[in-house]
Structure 1
Amino acid sequence: MSLLQSPQSQPQPHAGRRTVLTAAVAAAAAGVPLLTGFGSGTAHAAAAGDLYTSNTDLYTRLPNGEGTEYARRYRRHEMLDASPDGRYPYNRTTVLALHGGGIEGGTSELCLGIAGYHPATSEPVRADGPFHDYWMFEGLRNSDNRGLHVTSKHCDDHVARSMAAGSLNVLSLHGCSAAQAGAPASRPEAVVVGGLNAGFQRLMTEELRAAGFQTIDGAKVPDLNGDHPDNICNRTMLGKGGQLELTTELRQSMFGTFTRQGRPKSTNETFWRFTAACRAAIARLEAGADQRIL
């Protein structure tokens, strides 16, 4: 995608097999006709059983929900270049957790850890960084947090969109089941590596495997590949980004207590090994030639 290409000029969303089948089942159960206008620029059928067609739809229909049903957290680091004869670096990478809190457990904590902050305190893990910008949407309900899920193609939160559009890179974190990822029953702890940035995929795969994690090529799991141009992980300055889908078993292995309240304070060695691998991949990515703005 050209740096000047607008969202309206990008290819329209396509429907994956899981989206179509889930929508069909839900429609049949509700006794309503199935929406077929997946290519429409004005309305989309809910993906994978989503109740809300976008973040805007969710915010509108739950006007008093923030702080009780859901939360949004983000950090944009202050950047300054006041020198007429020098040039200073800017933050190149944003980390996203679109389905944090109780929706896809563990992704909020991973988002903070990869960005350089401790999940329990939001304080820097290392005083010298590096630090990355981050944005997350979190389910706060005691149950039925899955009802707050908005698929990545339909994320239109203004802050999230602006942060992705102002970044060279995005790493978006998600949760899935071992069956969805195609992980073997004998080893269900796995992560699907996807997104449109092939170089980022390669680096992430190399670093995660070197750290002892089982990776699965997103191209082998089309429904989890994160390769749609409208996926917010790809709405970057370069028109491409990275996405990780972690199985439930892998996410559970990273915490002593796998509850929304318990996870931030019970991160373990597996959690920090995973976040360190992701940070190493980001560092290698940011050292590339396409990361320089002349």
Structure 2
Amino acid sequence: MTYPERTTSRRTVLTALAAAATVGGPILSQLAAAAPAVAATAEDPIEYASNTALYKDTNLVEGTSYSRRYRRHQQFDLKMTEKYDFPRTAILALHGGGIEIGTSELCLGIAGYSPSDAAGAAILPTVHDYFMFEGLLSSGNRALHVTSKNCDDHVALSTAASHLNVLSLHGCQFDQLKLPTSSFPATGDRGVAVVGGLHAEFRTALVTEIRNAGFQAVDAYDSRYSATLGDFNGSHVTNPCNRTMLAKGAQLELTTELRESLFGDSSSRSARAATWNQSEGRFESFRDACRKAIATVEAGQPIL
């Protein structure tokens, strides 16, 4: 299927969703009628070529179909005799909301903010800049996915480019990873964090802290796992996690089981926002593990 054909098919599906929501019609039956003649495959997904292409789609409305949320902190150095700190790490969730569930809430949490406060209240003493693109459709948010290496949102890219480090959060399915069954049996714990990106020290710190917090984590470049993790290793130079001042960063691919376990109820955006602190401490433990890894990396990056 060519890109124009994929775009047409996606637009048909999105139009059906919008129409069903408007008239109260049965969404599933309209989607069935709107199904493309050629089915998309894992190798040929129905996907926008870039954020710009998505933003230009007139069938989508920002604030209804999708949203962008970000925070860039004002910093001042007004005294000639003093040196001031500057934010060194930013958190990204490029497929948040209903696209890869749980990544928006984790983005806010790791950045130091409450996932349940619409006003974005800081709840931790140290905060980080962040950017999130979030799917807001009632269903079918996968149609809003833009592959990370194709992200061209200028706020996302400028956020990455102005920081030494980026931690980018993503979601995946356990079966996609094809991890060795000797260590990760299909009937065992399917909650796994795959740590990627080109910043080796950052990856090491993340794997260490996430494991110390009681979660499973693997380095995507570890020879024991790397053969099947090429699509999850965050190696592309245009991936925003690597478009930092150092031209390297880190990303987490979190399985569905891991992300769902971080909430008392993971079934919807509102449920996740309301129950992130009702998972017997799992959300806080994972959040704090990531923040410890960030602190470890930043400790070796003195102000120049």
Give the TM-score, by structure 2 length.
0.79
In structure 1, distance between residues paired with 2:44 and 2:76: 42
Shift of 1:278: 0.2
Tell me the residue number matched to 2:215: 213
Q: Give the counterpart letter for 2:129 in structure 1.
A: D
- The percent identity for this pair of structures is 55
Number of the residue aligned with 1:184: 185
Runs of 4+ off more than 3 Å: 29-32
CA distance, structure 1, for counterparts of residue 43 and residue 80 of structure 2: 49
Q: Partner residue of 1:224?
A: 232
Q: Deviations over 1:225-272 (max 9, x none)?
A: 001111110000000000000000001101111111100110121111
Letter of the 1:77 partner, please give it.
H
Aligned with residue 263 of structure 2, among 242, 255, 261: 255
C-alpha separation between the residues in 2 aligned to 1:124 and 1:116?
Answer: 6
- 8 Å Cα contact 2:85-2:303 kept in structure 1: no
Count of residue pairs the alignment pairs up: 252
CA distance in 2, matches of 1:62, 1:150: 17
Amino acid at match of 1:207: E
Equivalences for 1:120-199 in 2 at 5 Å? 120-121=116-117, 122-126=120-124, 129-181=125-177, 182=179, 183-185=184-186, 186-199=188-201
Report the more deviating stretch, 214-223 or 279-288: 214-223
Provide the rounded CA distance (Å) in 2 between the counterparts of 1:251 and 1:148.
Answer: 20
Corresponding position of 2:241 = 233
Q: Displacement, 1:275?
A: 0.2
* Distance (Å, rounded) in 1 between the aligned partners of 2:159 and 2:298: 17
Aligned to 1:6: none
Matches within 5 A, 1:19-30: none
Decide whether the 8 Å contact of 2:91 with 2:111 is kept in 1.
Answer: yes
Partner SS, residue 210 of structure 2: helix
SS at 2:270 equivalent = coil
Query: Does the 8 Å CA contact 1:114/1:275 hold for their aligned counterparts?
Result: yes
- Per the alignment, residue 285 of structure 1 pairs with 297
CA contact (8 A) 1:178 1:184 kept: no
Separation in 2, partners of 1:281, 1:48: 35
- Give 1:157 shift: 0.4
Would the aligned equivalents of 2:161 and 2:244 in 1 still touch at CA under 8 Å?
yes
Of the structure 1 ranges 153-162 and 174-183, higher mean CA displacement relative to structure 2 is found in: 174-183
Paired with 1:233 and 1:250, the residues of 2 have a C-alpha distance of 21
Residue 261 of structure 1 aligns to a residue in which SS?
A: helix
Gaps of 5+ in 2: 1-5, 10-35
Shift of 1:62: 3.6
Stretches of structure 1 lacking an aligned partner (at least 5 in a row): 1-22, 33-45
What code does the residue aligned with 1:106 have?
G
| 1:12-51 to 2 correspondences below 5 Å | 49-51=45-47
Give the counterpart letter for 2:211 in structure 1.
R
1:264 aligns with one of 273, 281, 284:
273
Query: Following TM superposition, by how much is the alpha carbon of 1:31 offset from its aligned partner in structure 2, in angstroms?
Result: 5.8
Change (3 A) 1:167 1:62: farther
Q: Secondary structure at the match of 1:89?
A: coil
- The CA RMSD over aligned residues, in Å, is 2.0
Larger Rg over CA atoms: 2
Could you tell me which of 60, 74, 82 is aligned with 1:86?
A: 82
Between the aligned partners of 1:131 and 1:48, the Cα distance in structure 2 is: 39
Residues 129-183 of structure 1 deviation map (CA, whole Å, 9 limit, x = unaligned): 2100000000000000000000100110011110100000000000000112335
